[in-house]
Structure 1
Amino acid sequence: MAIQTIKMPDIGEGIAEVELVAWHIKVGDVVAEDQILADVMTDKATVEIPSHVAGTVVSLNAAVGEVVAVGTEIIHIEVSNDALALVDKAQAAIKDEAIKEEVTKAVAAPAPALPSKATRSPQTTATVKMSALSEHHHPIAAPAVRRRAWELGVDLNLVSATGPAGRITLADLERYGATSNADQLANREAATPDQRYAQQSAEEVIPVIGLRRKIAQKMQEAKRHIPHFTYVEEIDVTELEELRARLNAQFAATRGRLTLLPFLMRAIVLAVRDHPEVNARFDDEANQLTRFAAVHLGLATQTAGGLMVPVIRHAESLDLWASAAAVLRVSEAARGAKAARDELSGSTITLTSLGALGGIVSTPVINHPEVAIVGTNRMVERPMMKNGQVVARKMMNLSSSFDHRVVDGMNAAEFIQQIRGYLECPGTLLV
């Protein structure tokens, strides 16, 4: 019998400390070799910590939310033959349970063969008939009754029938509705006015840990270091939407569907060629700007845990369909908590979109140490003047923020106007 120590491993890439975001074990648990013990977070990437030994957990030496240095002792595990035997027993039990479940499914899957007419008993016959009736029963009701049920939002399967041959009548439906309304009224009356309008004094203290802590730190850092200014422009995307519809009708089956994002990506890539100052990162300590020929596009993505920014590398080399595939790949990886560390760092400019929730105007926060972020707002159809006529056009605002230390207002305006030109003449994106 011996005590094995598990230390916080070196994740690599110069990481000196991580945040413990979840324990998957507790003191007294028997663990197997390679079993996941904990989740830690580095920047915005979550990393699983496995066990290199089998045994019984003696102590956990860090709390959820604690920042732990690499090399710190975090777990003590007692290793013994008994513990190994318990692990084997537990694994065998799990395996047996899985086998039993599969056997049960296999037995239950096929329909049971019916006994011959000569051998089956009256009880068996009745059971079979009732089973068939329950499986294939549909409520009997006249079209007028069905329409009334649809208007009331009533499931006819829940209504007791009193008509001939089990038919549901309008009276049955009204009776069910009256009973249901009485129940709802009783529930409402149970909540007295005093309860519904009572003052509330409860408080809940929620530790800001994990991804939410990283987001808080990142936002605070961005607003503390970067003097933001936001530029908003209105864009007519009617022709863009028509082109997108034509391309999807012709190529969706073979190349995949295009959303608006690939067109925005391509417009940004083309505009960056003439405005390299926005595709850059600013080093606050060295007081220097690094411009990049490559466009490593950060894509702001909402996940269950909070906002993440996976990176599409070398967006300048992607056509519309490759861009669409990249958007799908990185966003799914982020939402599924499967994005690797190198997929969450190294962006040079960021694109953010809230889709239908985008509102009219927003003031996006720059992804420090970048110097620009392009944001899309909600697309709406509005009456607009064109060639002296009032016509319906699809309009969308771009709300973009810039680092005023290195991007002047004129530069930002020219950059966005160039993006506008590409989007309003979408054929130029394909040249």
Structure 2
Amino acid sequence: MGLYAIKMPDIGEGIAEVELVAWRVQPGDTVKEDQILADVMTDKATVEIPSPVAGKVETLGGQPGQLMAVGAELIRLEVEGAGNVREGAAAGSLRGRVGVGAGAGAAPVAPDRKDDITHENADVDAPAAGSAPTPALPQRGREESLGRREPPRATPAPMRPPGEKPIASPAVRRRAWDLGIELQFVHGSGPAGRIIHEDLDVYLAARGQGPTARATALRQRQGEEAIPVIGLRRKIAQKMQEAKRRIPHFSYVEEVDVTDLEALRAQLNAKFGDTRGKLTVLPFIARAVVLALDDFPQVNARFDDDAGVIARSNPVHLGIATQTDAGLAVPVLRHAEAQDVWGLSREIARLAHATRSGKATREELAGSTLTITSLGPLGGIVTTPVINHPEVAIVGVNRIVERPVIRNGAVVARQLMNLSSSFDHRVIDGMDAARFIQAVRALLESPAMLFVE
């Protein structure tokens, strides 16, 4: 038997380091060739790292939330044969690693940074000697971080054969960890048996810990929960902070009467829904934005404020803000100007599915020239969306509500929706922003114009 060290691969595009998001294996697990070992993140794309060999996990080279350099040792396996680790190096394989038998003073291999935050999923015996102290946790959280998790009460029989790994997203795994749930005992109702958040709720309810089993007595709660800002949430925080720091935002809100649009959408879905797919409001809005940009090219741009250059884009690459279990991501609908409403609808649905399932590529998550953001039925009355730097505008869609409106002296019910948009005041004047949104409004209120070439 020998030891085989797997290093962080070069993911490309000149990336020097990536963030370790989640481990798919733990020390002592047996892995097969091409089995996924870990999820890492660069920018907003999550990349799965497979194993080039079969073996047994000996040590892990880092903790979730840690930034690791390309070429740093990611994991070490015990394999048949000689492996690729010299005997002298193998003797110290347990020193300074996260893994089997790591004693007090163990530390990850990759160099720590001041802003690195220890994730509770790491299996360590004690904090690294000389490292920054971990945030104070409630007693239960401290025990979990030390590898002494409280076993779930009334643990049922396993829901899957021994050795079969439960399938779940990093967000679901983290929530299960926080709740003290062993995923091995949770039935997965998602595709291919994937465990989703609703499955955790069902499991808790079955154990008498669900929302219907709340204690009736009023009592004080103590302690606080430390939430490490890692993975996509860290990227979102950095992106939003950068956008608000560098861009002088101003917002403009306009009310749009979408009664005729909704009537047309219902007719199109009734006639073409089975053959071309059902249409939501979003592809109509995207089409209206694309057509309005013909007269307002300054809105479809990116501003390099370091170089002092505005790059107006001829193609329209629409960013579609998409909520995922891990946080907000912005996949890019490329060449929206070349799509009709059905093409836009299909591409929006495809990108949303790829993003929420973690399958979106780096290319699909970069390069937008203008972003549309919508909270659907939760869209509220008015929002002040944050511009997706280095773009210069973002169009926010609020929910549709039915309200009384006076028309020709009579009170009638109309379906109304607000567009809440933000602009970079360094690049776009208030008058131009208002005229652009008014152009979008005119197209939405006369929806037949969306189909005129």
The normalised TM-score by structure 2 is 0.69
CA distance in 2, matches of 1:356, 1:25: 39
1:46 maps onto 2:67 in alignment? no
CA distance in 2, matches of 1:355, 1:50: 37
CA distance in 2, matches of 1:206, 1:356: 29
Q: Which amino acid aligns with 1:49?
A: I
Q: Who is 1:115 aligned against?
A: none
1:7 maps onto 2:28 in alignment? no
> If each structure's helix is expressed as a fraction of its own residues, which one has the higher value?
1
Of 250, 255, 266, the match for 1:234:
255
Check conservation: 2:2, 2:82, Cα contact below 8 A: no
Q: Who is 1:25 aligned against?
A: 25
Q: How many angstroms does 1:401 deviate by?
A: 0.4
Structure 1, residues 117-170: CA drift from partner, whole Å, max 9, x if none?
Answer: xxxxxxxxxxxxxxxxxxxxxxxxxxxxxxxxxxxxxxxxxxxxxxxxxxxxxx
Q: How many angstroms does 1:78 deviate by?
A: 2.5
Q: Who is 1:144 aligned against?
A: none
Q: How many angstroms does 1:388 deviate by?
A: 2.0
Structure 1, residues 86-128: CA drift from partner, whole Å, max 9, x if none?
Answer: xxxxxxxxxxx79xxxxxxxxxxxxxxxxxxxxxxxxxxxxxx
Q: Who is 1:169 aligned against?
A: none
Of 409, 423, 427, the match for 2:444:
423
Of 310, 317, 328, the match for 1:307:
328
Q: How many angstroms does 1:404 deviate by?
A: 0.8
Q: How many angstroms does 1:291 deviate by?
A: 0.6
Report matched runs for 1:227-266 at 5 Å.
Answer: 227-266=248-287
> Alignment partner of 1:62: what SS?
coil
Report matched runs for 1:32-431 at 5 Å.
Answer: 32-80=32-80, 191-192=216-217, 196=218, 198-431=219-452
- Aligned residues with identical type, % of pairs: 65
Check conservation: 2:37, 2:51, Cα contact below 8 A: yes
Q: Who is 2:205 aligned against?
A: none
CA distance in 1, matches of 2:369, 2:82: 55
Q: How many angstroms does 1:336 deviate by?
A: 1.2
> Alignment partner of 2:241: what SS?
helix
CA distance in 1, matches of 2:344, 2:54: 45
> Alignment partner of 2:10: what SS?
coil
- Which blocks of at least 5 consecutive residues in structure 2 are unaligned? 84-160, 163-212
Q: How many angstroms does 1:200 deviate by?
A: 2.4
CA distance in 1, matches of 2:82, 2:298: 65
> Alignment partner of 2:394: what SS?
strand
Q: How many angstroms does 1:56 deviate by?
A: 2.5
Q: Who is 2:115 aligned against?
A: none
Check conservation: 2:3, 2:82, Cα contact below 8 A: no
> Alignment partner of 2:294: what SS?
helix
CA distance in 1, matches of 2:13, 2:277: 36
CA distance in 2, matches of 1:29, 1:284: 49
> Alignment partner of 1:274: what SS?
coil
Structure 1, residues 213-260: CA drift from partner, whole Å, max 9, x if none?
Answer: 111111111111111100000111111111111111111121111110
> Alignment partner of 2:399: what SS?
coil
CA distance in 1, matches of 2:30, 2:356: 31
Q: How many angstroms does 1:308 deviate by?
A: 1.0
Q: How many angstroms does 1:191 deviate by?
A: 4.1
Go from structure 1 to structure 2 and tell me whether the alpha carbon gap of 1:4 and 1:204 turns closer, same or farther (over 3 Å shift).
Answer: same
Which is worse superposed, 233-242 or 74-83?
74-83
Q: Who is 1:162 aligned against?
A: none
CA distance in 2, matches of 1:191, 1:254: 53
Q: Which amino acid aligns with 1:324?
A: S
Q: How many angstroms does 1:27 deviate by?
A: 2.2
Structure 1, residues 392-427: CA drift from partner, whole Å, max 9, x if none?
Answer: 111110000001110110110010000001001111
Q: How many angstroms does 1:306 deviate by?
A: 1.0
RMSD of aligned Cα (Å): 1.8
CA distance in 2, matches of 1:346, 1:246: 35
Check conservation: 2:321, 2:373, Cα contact below 8 A: yes
The normalised TM-score by structure 1 is 0.73
CA distance in 1, matches of 2:13, 2:81: 38
CA distance in 2, matches of 1:266, 1:359: 22
Q: Which amino acid aligns with 1:429?
A: L
CA distance in 1, matches of 2:401, 2:30: 58
Larger CA Rg, structure 1 vs 2: 1
Q: How many angstroms does 1:357 deviate by?
A: 0.7
Structure 1, residues 277-307: CA drift from partner, whole Å, max 9, x if none?
Answer: 1111111211211010100000011111111
Q: Which amino acid aligns with 1:406?
A: V
> Alignment partner of 2:28: what SS?
coil
Q: Who is 2:116 aligned against?
A: none
Which is worse superposed, 69-78 or 342-351?
69-78
Check conservation: 2:290, 2:337, Cα contact below 8 A: yes
CA distance in 2, matches of 1:205, 1:274: 50
CA distance in 2, matches of 1:392, 1:31: 63
Go from structure 1 to structure 2 and tell me whether the alpha carbon gap of 1:59 and 1:357 turns closer, same or farther (over 3 Å shift).
Answer: same
